Structure 1
């Protein structure tokens, strides 16, 4: 579980990132969660964009991505979801205590 201080730190780190995944009309599926999980292993912190034609609410999409990728939700802002998952082999981000 992330503390408030850690979430603020991760939001600052994610500010300059561009979304690398988009959730559209099809919603969240198993293939997408697998790809997001692999991307999180490589990068630890990613942004996901929820498109206008997505039929599900963005907060529900965020919950599905968190469960599917076993990640932690940093923030949902606008149509952008920020996810974090500590990498097992490629640790790049050192969280404050």
Structure 2
């Protein structure tokens, strides 16, 4: 569980990152979870964009991705989700 100070730090780091994955009409599925998990292992901090044709709401999408990857939800802003998960091999972000 992240503290408020850690979330604030991660939000500032994520500000300049572009979303690398999109959730569309298919919603959250096994393939998306696998892609998010791989991206988190490589980068630790990612943004996921939710398209307008996604049938699930953004809180459900965030919950499903977070539960499937054991990642922390840093921020939900508009249709963009920010996730953090500490990498086991490529650790680059040091939390305060």
Q: TM-score, normalised by structure 2?
A: 0.99
- The CA deviation at 1:64 is 0.3
Distance in 2 (CA, whole Å) between partners of 1:80 and 1:39 is 16
Distance in 2 (CA, whole Å) between partners of 1:26 and 1:38 is 19
Hey, what does 1:92 align to over in structure 2?
92
Q: How many residues align?
A: 96
Name segments (4+ residues, structure 1) moved above 4 Å: none
Where structure 1 has 5 or more consecutive residues not aligned to the other structure, the ranges are: none
Hey, what does 2:36 align to over in structure 1?
36
Distance in 2 (CA, whole Å) between partners of 1:44 and 1:54 is 25
- The CA deviation at 1:70 is 1.2
Hey, what does 1:17 align to over in structure 2?
17
Q: Indicate the RMSD between aligned Cα atoms, in angstroms.
A: 0.4
Q: TM-score, normalised by structure 1?
A: 0.98
